[in-house]
């Protein structure tokens, strides 16, 4: 995880990526009674289901998965939205 995280009313934002012509991708984590949930969302306020929802039993596994997916998306041309704010 890089940069500062934000708390939302429903979870914690781990990162956000942008790509030209695409909706931003938001990586969030939700703490539910029995597990942690990793969610990749491209419309935080929409009615469509998230692109990815995964259940994880521990934080380390969830963070490793989130970092792996972020690295993959960055290799495919996505950029870290926090980098855009800094420019």
Domain spans in the chain, listed from the N-terminal domain onward? 6-86
Cα–Cα distance measured from residue 79 to residue 61, given in angstroms and rounded to the nearest whole number: 23
Q: Could you give the CA distance from residue 68 to residue 65 in angstroms, rounded to a whole number? A: 5
Determine the 3-state secondary structure of 65 from DSSP: helix
Predicted pLDDT of residue 60 = 94
Can you give the pTM of this predicted structure?
0.78
* 46: confidence class by pLDDT, cuts 50, 70, 90: confident
Q: What is the pairing mode between strands 35-41 and 52-56?
A: antiparallel
Handedness of CA 56, 53, 47, 71 (dihedral sign): positive
């Amino acid at each position: 995880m890089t940069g500062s995280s934000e708390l939302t009313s429903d979870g914690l934002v781990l990162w956000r990526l942008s790509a030209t012509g695409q909706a931003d991708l938001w990586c969030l984590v939700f703490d539910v009674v029995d597990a942690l949930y990793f969610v990749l969302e491209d419309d935080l306020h929409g009615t469509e289901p998230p692109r990815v929802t995964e259940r994880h039993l521990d934080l380390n596994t969830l963070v490793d998965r989130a970092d792996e997916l972020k690295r993959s998306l960055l290799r495919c041309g996505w950029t870290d939205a926090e980098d855009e704010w800094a420019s």
